[in-house]
Amino acid sequence: MDAPTTEADLDGDDGWQPAPRVVAKPGEFRPLQIGPLTVDPPVVLAPMAGITNAPFRQLCRSFSGGRCLYVSEMITARAFVEGHAKTLKLASFGPDETGRRSIQLYGTHEGALGEAARILVNDWGVEHIDMNFGCPVRKVTSAGGGSAIPARPKLMARIVRAVVNGAGSVPVTIKFRKGIHDQLLTFLDAGRVGEQEGARSLALHARTAQQLYSGRADWDAIAELKQATKTIPVLGNGDIFEPWDALQMMRQTGCDGVVVGRGCLGRPWLFGEIVDVFDGKEPRPLPTLGEIKATMQQHARMLCAFFSEKHGMAQMRKFTGWYLKGFPGAKRQLGALHMVRTLEEFDALLAPLPDHLPYPIGSIRARRCKDGRPQEHVALPEGFLECRDEDVCVDDPLEMDGG
């Protein structure tokens, strides 16, 4: 039997206290207004590289009855404009996405970003563009992108302005982190730039780039950004693993909405639970292992239909450990599941797992990322933090998509 989930498996939740299990009262929370888009309840799926492709968005949407807002994984503006096949595939939408098409755009040069925004709006029918200023991984920040950009406010302003102009009436939003590290916090500057340059909402992942996904998210920073922002909504991101967390974040910080990231990995039904509590109802029961196996099989088939069986099963491998986390006996199957190539193999590997097992409560807040530690330092271009008030040009990457 596998060992149960322990405190050592959690994301550094020192001093974590469970949120009160109190559903929303009538009228307690307003729908989120992002330009012409109304999001009710005020909940957004975080764009995650290699995760929030069209099949995963469709699966999450099915549990919420089509409510909330579901953002694509990030696509690179230059590769999109130049028509690279992989990027165009990742940017595409599923058959159920006939409205409220939402995509996250990444880049460092205003020319490619502005042109990508125009194409997305005019040719692809996109109705919401999010901009990535929060990615902390080395290959992104070392090129001066992602969470590095807010450290250069004039660069950030120039590229936000380009996308807002390119998008026209379609709302543009921005997502960013607290800063590079605890000695260089940039979130208030980033919020100011976004508000001044025409962004329709701000989303703060309340960790620094150096933290990656370690430790606790600093919800006080979300409250501080909300207090500093006068004209557009502020959304909070970080440590939403249960529906009660979403309510507690809004109650504690006064933010206008929440962004759900790692908490839904292997748990797409979380969006249904969140919808329930915002509607004033107790959340639906947690699924049994048999119900999770059925969801995994549905997810795998959707990925295969979208990418082909070969590439769809390669995508599915990363999800298997998240879906089965904490279930006794599941670890014995994970090695083979992480190498699975066909749907037939996949079904055969799931079959021996007992359907009746209840959901392991201890795994809800268990780690769902490659590493629960901070990085030693954030990789940046040489001299990037010198003369931060001056403008700077950064070469636009060709491809940063996927993950």
- Residues assigned a catalytic role: 135
Parallel/antiparallel/unpaired status of strands 69-70 and 74-76: unpaired
SS3 74: strand
SS3 245: helix
Dig out the tokens for 173 from the structure. 């939003």
Residue 260 pairs with which residues in a beta bridge? 45
Say which residues have a Cβ less than 8 Å from residue 144's Cβ, sequence separation at least 6.
108, 152, 380, 381, 384, 392, 394, 395
DSSP codes, 207-237: S-TTTTT-S---HHHHHHHHHH--SS-EEEE
Q: Compute the residue count for the chain.
A: 403
Rounded to whole angstroms, the Cα distance separating 12 from 5 reads 14
Residue 34 pairs with which residues in a beta bridge? 37
Question: Do 218 and 206 touch, CB atoms closer than 8 A?
Answer: yes
- Which DSSP letter does residue 308 get? -
**Amino acid letter, residue 209:** A
* Residue the block writes with tokens 């997305």: 120
- Which DSSP letter does residue 184 get? E
Question: Do 357 and 328 touch, CB atoms closer than 8 A?
Answer: yes
Before 41, cis peptide (omega within 30)?
yes
* Residue the block writes with tokens 């999001």: 39
